[in-house]
Structure 1
Amino acid sequence: MRQANRRLTLKSNRVRRALRLLPLPLSIAICLPAMADEKPVNWDLCPTTDVLPLFDEAPKADKAAAAMRDQLPTDIEGDQLSGTSTTPQYQGNVALKRGDQFLGTDNLRFDTESGNYIAEGNVRYSDSSIRMIADRAEGNQESDTHKISNIHYQLVSRRGNGGADSIDLQGAVGQMHRSTYTTCDPSQPVWKLSAPQIEVDNDEGFGTARNAVLRIGKVPVLYAPWFKFPIDDRRQTGLLYPQLSMSGRNGFDYAQPIYFNLAPNFDDTLTPRYMSKRGVLLDNEFRYLYEGGRGQLDTLYMPDDTLRARSRGKVEYSGYHNIDSNWQARANLFWVSDERYIEDFSNRLLGVSASNLQSTAGVYGTGTTWTAGLMADRWQLTDYTLTEASLPYSRQPRLFATWEQPFGRWFEAGVYAEAVRFTHDDIHLKDAGFDRTGVTLAQPGGSRLDIKPYLSMPLAGASWFLTPTLAWRYTAYQLDKALADSLGGERNPTRSMPITTVDAGLFFDRETTLGGKSYLHTLEPRVFYLNTPYRDQSALPLFDTRAFTFSWGQLFRDSRYTGADRQNDANQLTTALTTRLLRESDGREKLSASIGQITYFDDSRVTLDSAEAIVEKGKSAWVADVNWALTDRWTLGSTYQWNPKYRQEDLASLRARYLLPKDGVVNLNYRYRRNASTGTDQLKQADFSFLYPINPSWSVVGRYYYSLLDRKPLEIIGGVQWDSCCLAVRALARRYVKNREGELNNSLQIEFVLKGLASAGQDTDRTLRRAILGYNRDDLYLVPPSNIAAGEDDYDPNQIP
């Protein structure tokens, strides 16, 4: 008869110890995939059945029970109990349970005096992380030695499974003999990792495999006579997986990362890299972490790059330190050895277009009603076709603060303030071949104080808002003599002026039905009036000020310039209208359309320099934007600017996206921009990209990014992806612009993803996510940054709340 829930005291403690040790040899099954990629793994193509089905007698997996298993007693059940009190023997459906742990067997006998035990016949073990079956388990509790024979296991969360002929345990150290690991279904063993001997040290947290072989199908593709690996979350010094690629610029490209676990809170990764067409380099990444901050230092050194016949290098640091709940110190520092470094070491179009690097360091604070900071920055030239004259001024140092606070019942008061010293590197002139001529021009700088207090009265109701605002802007300079002489001789010019704005809008909505579905239809008119008197600013320098690109956001700003060196005069009114269709069942926006225009009642005479034309009395370009979700899969969008003065468009863009089943996507984009002042085309591009699933296993990817002005491609990508339950392979061919001369580079990227183990080759996922919007579906729901948004270090006094 089954003896249900019979509890033992001393005996249960010894059985509890056996239960704790039984799964330890199987830590190899957990450690083999320890170096797996962090990308979410797709197991959709795997069979729905488990390799080892759930044991009926086992308790339900419970993380809470797993956490406190050591404090729980062990329950033993069996059909028959025989033997003596010192040598009890359970027979028939023996089950030991403790928390989330379960051990089942046909027969269990042990000697409470000697500590010997034997479990044989249909041995089964499971807990929250693993299930296993074995023929026999025996050992001694006192000497803490154990041997388990003919094991098969399955990891519950990772789908990993495999087996071993036997496992020997001596305390926390174990040996596995003829062990295997795979995440494939046994009926389809696409890949398998096997080793005749694996040693595991649970106290030290590492394992050592000897003569390990990785097979894809029946073909051995990797042999390791010896390697050491972590078996838990503790980091271990050793080799990481290599990176391989082939390109026209680099040739055969091999990088081998070496990881150094220096301390619990800092580590280092040294990566020797060989490029057959360029030479050898060393790349290093040092990271640290502590309770109040973290940081990372990246360095690279290449003693002889045959591409440029010189040594190359970089230093990059980023980190922060939390001083207290309000203040933080942070830095982002960059240095490269030469002006072609970014171009030569980047495989993206950004490497061709980037012309400078900015380094910043400072202390920043924020509170409920205020922000403040003290920082400095510096710029480095990374475009060999330019001189230092193209670099922005460095701010060394810069102090800024903002404050806003409700004032009384109706008002809100605030102030923007900034004090900054501008410096600039000397300009080294170049000849027609972009070589330095030896002629150097000094670039003078100066200091600037900018203060902008304001008072506003925000009024609002359920369907309207009205916000009149009055601001006063005072700007004062102290210029270096050479710069002052070039601007008329005044070393301490000032500017002072009032700025008046009125922002008002209405909200109308109604319920409507389209195609049998209920929608909320909104109509949102808005007006924005701006009045600023004219001040002659020709004696003021241009340190950090540029004109904003005209866009929807520009319709509602109180200046068309970023920076404090120019404040345009204005007597203008913006009128705009937005309408939306919101699906009432789920709130999804079916349609949004906006249109707006500025009416200039007077000429705006302030300009950046003589090359910029004044804004004449009349109408600005119409700005329109439409987004339409035809279906839940089809979306269309367009942005358009029509200039009535020139009777043609200044900007046009068309966007179309179709979401295919099985995470496929097709994107089609067209972009056009014209320089309104010169009438010349600035940009005309077409961009087509797709991820097309042919069937559950095969898919093709591609991108064709073409410049219609230059009549040449900017990037072409073609690739194929194959996916299975446990293995994925991606192969990409790329052709892209590699330098400012417009030369094209060819590359081939291949990546093997052994799901639950690792990936080898290039990171094709990063390439495809950049090139194909929607390659990762989650990327479609990220909000892109506004083209007028201020950065975290930017002082933006031109946007009145």
Structure 2
Amino acid sequence: MSKAWGLFVLPLISTATFANSNIDGLQCKDYFQPKNWQPIADLPKGAIDIQSDNVELQGVDSAEFSGNVVISSSVMSLSAEAALIDKQQGLLNATGPLVFQDAYTLVNSTGMFANLKDYEFSLLGADYWLTQQNGHGSAEKLHATSNQVDLLNSSFTTCPGETPFWSIEASNIVMNRDSGWGETHNTVLRILDTPVVYVPYFTFPIDDRRKSGVLTPTISSSSRRGLGIAVPYYLNLAPNYDATITPRYMSKKGTQLISEFRYLTQQHQGQLAIEFLEQDDSAKQLDERYLVNWTQNSYFDENWRASVDVTNVSDDAYISDLDSQYANETDTQLYRTGQLSYLGDDWAVDLKVQNFEVLGNHTESYAVLPQLTVNHVTHNYQGFNWGLTGQISRFTNDELTVTDATRVHFEPSVSYDHNAHAWSFASNLSLMHTYYEQDGDEAFAQSQYKKSVSRTLPKLRLHGQLNLERPTNFILEQGTQTLEPQIQYLYTPKKDQSGIALYDTIKMQDDFFGLFREQRFSGVDFIAQANQFTLGATTRLFDNSNIERFNFSMGQILYLSDSAKPTAQSLESNPLDQTTQEFGSKNYNALFAAESMLHWHRRWYFSAGLQYDADEKELIQSHMTLDYRGSNKKLVQLNHHYASDVSGYEIDQIGLFSSLPIDENWQLVASYHRDLTASRSVEVFAGLQYESCCWAVRITGKRQIQTDLNQTISRDDAIFDTSFGINFVLKGLGSKSRYDASQLLRSGIFGYRRPFFLNN
């Protein structure tokens, strides 16, 4: 028989998960995950539906049900052998075996008692499963209210099977929905049913909310740093700011303290990180070693914004020696920049202060204290675009001949552009006027630099391009081929600039796209003479889905006078020549450059490029990359790089990246780079990762050239550093541990870079 009784609505009980792990279907295909519970459709609010084989009324307010009892409400369902309900007192007593289920749990139990008025119930001899997250266990008694679940003499695990890889047993487990956290008392961690750790008390998350606590430790070993153990402690200070403090022990160096503070407001977001090592046991000649990193982006309104990026270290070798996530170990300079910007419809204004900390035995860069840049563009006035760029900069550097300088630069310009489907034309005429006030040390008076100097130069650029296309069945069926020839004329007259020092000028890349730049050097301290045509063309192949499958570009500069060639404009005589420091002593007539891409299959990608000096019949630079990105986390990349002159050295290097799944749980990642000129490896890296529903482990090993920027080491005297690391996670105990093993390939000296797809 069936009968509906008007009763109190049962509370929405949550026995939420111990962690927020996202479970992969393949990894957990054997894991029993009960379906989410759904209430009976059209059941009136505040009512319950009872079905049973037999019912016996005990007065007006009580009834006893027996035989296949099914009780349903808007928040739960219960299947039992028998149940006694007292409507007057709001009590429910059921005997089993019984099955209880709500939106969060499924429980098998021997008996249940519920107080419907106080919104609480107790289940005896409970085996429970969490239906919305991964986790299950047993309890001598499960007691739940509207906001809390208590488990007495209970166990918990996220692992499948009768003998889980790990589990915890506790005298009491409490999970509170309001706080989003749980706690355990007298807890024993078991690995493969073997007691490993006893913890009197600890807490864990049951939803997305954060809470202070210990994060997953990391264990590593390095020939330079020795055995290392890092234990992060997370501090949830407020909803919009937090901190992480990490003591890091290194057997060869000592104990380092790493701290990070993050903040987020309506207008600002940023972080402040400090790393501190009081005494380095392996480098006692050094004082306290530290790193400070501060980054912030501010958005005041739709026009005003600001940014700060400052990194400072105690010594040049700090990053390469101690390793830090706030800088790359191959960095040779650290940024110290603050900028305030205004972006209007026609005006853009930047106020910047900047200083670079140069690492190693290199000339210190100039500090910019400050620099004001103004850009104004009037669009399409009388058919032309009129623009004005103005900049005032103050430079300081006590270590160079010119110690202080003020630079004022104005550049009015006019341009005319026309764009059509089949062709385009761009022209620009500008007048560059720059004034310098320079001062220096005792050697300044005998140097070639002038105290006051000005320079005015015009610049003309004319650029035209055709856009041709045709249908083709060559290689691709129903494909499209384009041909995009382009020509550029660039003119800047010759000017004696020997009296001007170099403050923020470096040579830019001479690739195919660089052939069509307006100038060869950044900044305005040296304006290279130009009287040249640049000829170039690009052809592309698109398939019938408009995906680019192939392109090839090549270009060449034709100099109309010998004095305009790069070799005739060498800056080697300038002692402040940063281009020589960064790019070697050679100056090339970079006449020819080519780039190509082949994407013949959605998983295969090939790219290559070269720069060639046709006058000297010499290859300047080249690169090649072959990528395969398969399904199920497969990744293989083969690359080659060549440069004829980098700081006086020839670079000829091959590299291999790979990320290969062994099976559903095991993943292998590896990389290898070899210097063909020196006939030795530069970096070798390997990582092995296992991940399942309930635990994950990652083991890594690396051997790479050891860099010490506190001293000068020649290329032939390189020393190698060998290191190992291990990271172990029990899923469900507080760590979000869904790993992407290919991320490991982005660490080290050479990081993996995914090739660029025009149409992904």
Q: Same fold (TM over 0.5)?
A: yes
Deviations 1:590-635 (A, max 9, x none): 1111111111112225554537899999974311111112433332
For 2:338 and 2:749, the matched residues in 1 are separated by: 34
Q: 2:336 aligns with which of 359, 363, 387?
A: 359
Deviations 1:631-667 (A, max 9, x none): 3333222111221111121112121122344321221
For 2:640 and 2:240, the matched residues in 1 are separated by: 48
Q: Where is the helix percentage greater, Structure 1 or Structure 2?
A: 1
The 8 Å contact of residues 600 and 620 in structure 1, kept in 2 or not, is answered as: no
Match for residue 78 of structure 1? Answer: 50
> Residue 78 of structure 1: SS of its match in structure 2?
strand
For 1:393 and 1:340, the matched residues in 2 are separated by: 21
For 1:414 and 1:90, the matched residues in 2 are separated by: 88
For 2:739 and 2:749, the matched residues in 1 are separated by: 17
Per mean C-alpha deviation after superposition, the further-off stretch among 248-257 and 102-111 is 102-111
The 8 Å contact of residues 745 and 751 in structure 2, kept in 1 or not, is answered as: no
Deviations 1:532-579 (A, max 9, x none): 122221111111101112112211111100011111121111111111
Q: 1:140 aligns with which of 115, 124, 127?
A: 115
- Among the aligned pairs, what percent are the same residue? 27
The 8 Å contact of residues 259 and 274 in structure 2, kept in 1 or not, is answered as: yes
Per mean C-alpha deviation after superposition, the further-off stretch among 232-241 and 326-335 is 232-241
For 2:489 and 2:631, the matched residues in 1 are separated by: 48
For 2:757 and 2:393, the matched residues in 1 are separated by: 32
Deviations 1:675-714 (A, max 9, x none): 39x9x65311111121233333444322111122333322
1:206-221 alignment, distance < 5 Å = 206-221=181-196
Match for residue 28 of structure 2? Answer: 46
1:318-329 alignment, distance < 5 Å = 318-329=295-306
Per mean C-alpha deviation after superposition, the further-off stretch among 271-280 and 653-662 is 653-662
For 2:309 and 2:636, the matched residues in 1 are separated by: 37
How far residue 251 of structure 1 moved from its aligned partner, in angstroms, is 1.6
The 8 Å contact of residues 47 and 185 in structure 1, kept in 2 or not, is answered as: no
The 8 Å contact of residues 215 and 221 in structure 1, kept in 2 or not, is answered as: yes
The 8 Å contact of residues 11 and 146 in structure 2, kept in 1 or not, is answered as: no
Match for residue 371 of structure 2? Answer: 398
Residue 73 of structure 1 aligns with an amino acid whose one-letter code is K
Match for residue 533 of structure 2? Answer: 573
How far residue 160 of structure 1 moved from its aligned partner, in angstroms, is 3.0
> Residue 301 of structure 2: SS of its match in structure 1?
coil
TM-score where L is the length of structure 1? 0.83
Residue 538 of structure 1 aligns with an amino acid whose one-letter code is S
Per mean C-alpha deviation after superposition, the further-off stretch among 138-147 and 272-281 is 138-147
Per mean C-alpha deviation after superposition, the further-off stretch among 164-173 and 287-296 is 164-173
The question of 1:628 aligning with 2:598 is answered yes
> Residue 344 of structure 1: SS of its match in structure 2?
helix
Match for residue 11 of structure 2? Answer: 19
Match for residue 451 of structure 1? Answer: 410
Q: Structure 1 pair 270/726, CA: closer, same or farther in 2 (3 Å)? A: closer
Q: Structure 1 pair 574/158, CA: closer, same or farther in 2 (3 Å)? A: farther
Residue 345 of structure 1 aligns with an amino acid whose one-letter code is L
> Residue 104 of structure 1: SS of its match in structure 2?
strand
For 1:761 and 1:235, the matched residues in 2 are separated by: 18
For 1:405 and 1:783, the matched residues in 2 are separated by: 35
The question of 1:752 aligning with 2:728 is answered yes
Match for residue 359 of structure 2? Answer: 382
How far residue 54 of structure 1 moved from its aligned partner, in angstroms, is 5.1
How far residue 582 of structure 1 moved from its aligned partner, in angstroms, is 1.1
Deviations 1:7-29 (A, max 9, x none): 84xx2xx22xx332x32xx23xx
The 8 Å contact of residues 384 and 414 in structure 2, kept in 1 or not, is answered as: yes
How far residue 239 of structure 1 moved from its aligned partner, in angstroms, is 2.2
Match for residue 705 of structure 1? Answer: 673
Deviations 1:137-167 (A, max 9, x none): 3232445543123334444454333333322
For 1:160 and 1:216, the matched residues in 2 are separated by: 16
> Residue 342 of structure 1: SS of its match in structure 2?
helix
Q: 1:256 aligns with which of 219, 224, 231?
A: 231
The question of 1:727 aligning with 2:695 is answered yes
Q: Structure 1 pair 458/274, CA: closer, same or farther in 2 (3 Å)? A: same
1:456-495 alignment, distance < 5 Å = 456-480=415-439, 482=441, 485=445, 488=448, 490-495=450-455
For 1:119 and 1:685, the matched residues in 2 are separated by: 75
Per mean C-alpha deviation after superposition, the further-off stretch among 498-507 and 685-694 is 685-694
For 1:699 and 1:288, the matched residues in 2 are separated by: 36
> Residue 517 of structure 1: SS of its match in structure 2?
coil
For 2:40 and 2:116, the matched residues in 1 are separated by: 25
Match for residue 240 of structure 2? Answer: 265
For 1:699 and 1:174, the matched residues in 2 are separated by: 38
The question of 1:312 aligning with 2:289 is answered yes
Residue 682 of structure 1 aligns with an amino acid whose one-letter code is E
The 8 Å contact of residues 23 and 134 in structure 2, kept in 1 or not, is answered as: no
Q: 2:219 aligns with which of 221, 240, 244?
A: 244
Residue 710 of structure 1 aligns with an amino acid whose one-letter code is A
For 2:676 and 2:348, the matched residues in 1 are separated by: 45
Unaligned runs of 5+ in 1: 428-440, 785-801
Match for residue 545 of structure 1? Answer: 505
Match for residue 33 of structure 1? Answer: 19
Match for residue 412 of structure 1? Answer: 385
For 2:268 and 2:126, the matched residues in 1 are separated by: 46
Q: 2:395 aligns with which of 422, 426, 442?
A: 422
The 8 Å contact of residues 673 and 683 in structure 2, kept in 1 or not, is answered as: yes
The 8 Å contact of residues 153 and 172 in structure 2, kept in 1 or not, is answered as: yes
Match for residue 105 of structure 1? Answer: 79
The 8 Å contact of residues 639 and 654 in structure 2, kept in 1 or not, is answered as: yes
For 2:538 and 2:114, the matched residues in 1 are separated by: 77
> Residue 494 of structure 2: SS of its match in structure 1?
coil
Residue 671 of structure 2 aligns with an amino acid whose one-letter code is R
1:509-520 alignment, distance < 5 Å = 509-514=469-474, 517-520=477-480
The 8 Å contact of residues 655 and 671 in structure 2, kept in 1 or not, is answered as: yes
The 8 Å contact of residues 362 and 375 in structure 1, kept in 2 or not, is answered as: yes
For 1:772 and 1:739, the matched residues in 2 are separated by: 10
How far residue 181 of structure 1 moved from its aligned partner, in angstroms, is 3.1
Residue 76 of structure 1 aligns with an amino acid whose one-letter code is I
Residue 662 of structure 1 aligns with an amino acid whose one-letter code is N
> Residue 321 of structure 2: SS of its match in structure 1?
helix
Q: 1:336 aligns with which of 292, 313, 316?
A: 313
The question of 1:743 aligning with 2:719 is answered yes
Per mean C-alpha deviation after superposition, the further-off stretch among 198-207 and 460-469 is 198-207
Deviations 1:77-106 (A, max 9, x none): 2335764664466775535343xx442334
1:50-61 alignment, distance < 5 Å = 50-53=32-35, 58=39
Q: Structure 1 pair 766/89, CA: closer, same or farther in 2 (3 Å)? A: same
> Residue 650 of structure 2: SS of its match in structure 1?
strand
Match for residue 521 of structure 1? Answer: 481
How far residue 185 of structure 1 moved from its aligned partner, in angstroms, is 2.6
The question of 1:124 aligning with 2:100 is answered yes
Q: Structure 1 pair 607/19, CA: closer, same or farther in 2 (3 Å)? A: same
> Residue 767 of structure 1: SS of its match in structure 2?
helix
Q: Structure 1 pair 735/220, CA: closer, same or farther in 2 (3 Å)? A: farther
Per mean C-alpha deviation after superposition, the further-off stretch among 271-280 and 626-635 is 626-635
How far residue 58 of structure 1 moved from its aligned partner, in angstroms, is 4.4
1:610-759 alignment, distance < 5 Å = 610=573, 620-675=590-645, 681-740=649-708, 741=713, 742-757=718-733, 758=735
Unaligned runs of 5+ in 2: none
Match for residue 564 of structure 1? Answer: 524
> Residue 307 of structure 1: SS of its match in structure 2?
coil
The 8 Å contact of residues 685 and 703 in structure 2, kept in 1 or not, is answered as: yes
How far residue 248 of structure 1 moved from its aligned partner, in angstroms, is 1.4
How far residue 754 of structure 1 moved from its aligned partner, in angstroms, is 3.7
How far residue 725 of structure 1 moved from its aligned partner, in angstroms, is 4.3
